[in-house]
Structure 1
Amino acid sequence: MPLVSIHVIRDQRSPSELRNLADVIHHCILENFNAPLGDRYQVITQHQPNELIIEDTGLNIPRTDKIVLLQIYQQGRETKVKQQLFEALARELNGKCGLKGSDLVVSLVANSKEDWSFGYGKAQFLTGEL
């Protein structure tokens, strides 16, 4: 059950472009993380240009105002699967959204089943409901 935070700069994309971006990200997660079809939790946050500061860690990666920062909270996938997701995101976001690979930053955050409640104050992974 990945939770995806999508951070972009405000007014760089239309509402339909933002939806397409979110849809492509979700498709990549379904394909690479084997998430169930109805398992979609995404938050899109738009920032003022001065509120999203993303440099290149000395890698000489050019950034533009089309930058996308993804934080994906997930339950421990293997290294190979994570690398496949990174590659799929770069390829699919470029092909379907025109996003340059230099404008994509992804951070995976691992958590565990006891870290989730989907409602009603229950930990559904632990109660056996999921």
Structure 2
Amino acid sequence: MPLVRIDALRAGPDRLAALGRAVHDALQETLGIPSDDLFQILTDHDGTTGTLRYGGYLGVRRDEGIVYVAITMRAGRSPERKRALYRRIADLAHAYAGTEPRNVFVTVTENAEADWSLGEGEAQYAPGPVVA
């Protein structure tokens, strides 16, 4: 159950939707998440009231096409699967939204089963007694 946040600079609704689709498809293909496991926060920054900053860290030439993808998910995926995920997100972001792979910045934060409540005030992945 990944929670995905995508922030893009002057993306517009169509590009933002295409980026969301690219990330979701990549998660399905590389990590096997279900098709209805779709929890995303998509934010377009206009460059005036909200903006994104970027640099050329590690020799990657980023520009105003920058897209930040933050994925929070349960721990347990191998480094190989994560690398496959990053590559597939970059490939699909280029194919679906025209975003250059050099502008796709992805970070993964992992947590445990008890760190999720998917509604109803319950920890669905780690059920247990309710403490009042």
Normalising to structure 1: TM-score of the pair? 0.88
Task: Quote the residue 1:123 is aligned against.
Answer: 123
Task: Quote the residue 2:63 is aligned against.
Answer: 64
Q: Is the 8 A contact 2:4 2:69 kept in 1?
A: yes
Q: Is the 8 A contact 2:24 2:38 kept in 1?
A: yes
**Percent of pairs with identical residues:** 29
Q: Offset at 1:43?
A: 0.2
Matches of 1:8 and 1:14 in 2, distance apart?
9
Residues 3-47 of structure 1 show CA distances to partners (whole Å, capped at 9, x for unaligned) of 0010111xx223122111111110001111111111111001223
Q: Offset at 1:81?
A: 0.3
Which AA in structure 2 matches 1:41? F
Matches of 2:106 and 2:87 in 1, distance apart?
11
Which 5+ residue runs of structure 1 have no aligned equivalent?
Answer: none
Structure 1 residue runs of 4 or more that deviate by more than 6 Å after TM superposition: none
Matches of 1:39 and 1:122 in 2, distance apart?
17
Task: Quote the residue 2:25 is aligned against.
Answer: 27
**RMSD across aligned positions (CA):** 1.6
SS at match of 2:41: strand
SS at match of 1:114: helix
- Aligned residue pairs total 125
Q: Offset at 1:62?
A: 1.7
Matches of 2:46 and 2:97 in 1, distance apart?
21
Matches of 1:26 and 1:16 in 2, distance apart?
15
Residues 55-100 of structure 1 show CA distances to partners (whole Å, capped at 9, x for unaligned) of 232x232222111001100112111000000111111111222111
Q: Is the 8 A contact 2:8 2:16 kept in 1?
A: no
Q: Mean alpha-carbon deviation: is it higher for 84-93 or for 60-69? A: 60-69
Normalising to structure 2: TM-score of the pair? 0.86
Task: Quote the residue 1:101 is aligned against.
Answer: 101
Indicate which of 39, 42, 50 corresponds to 1:41: 39
Task: Quote the residue 1:3 is aligned against.
Answer: 3
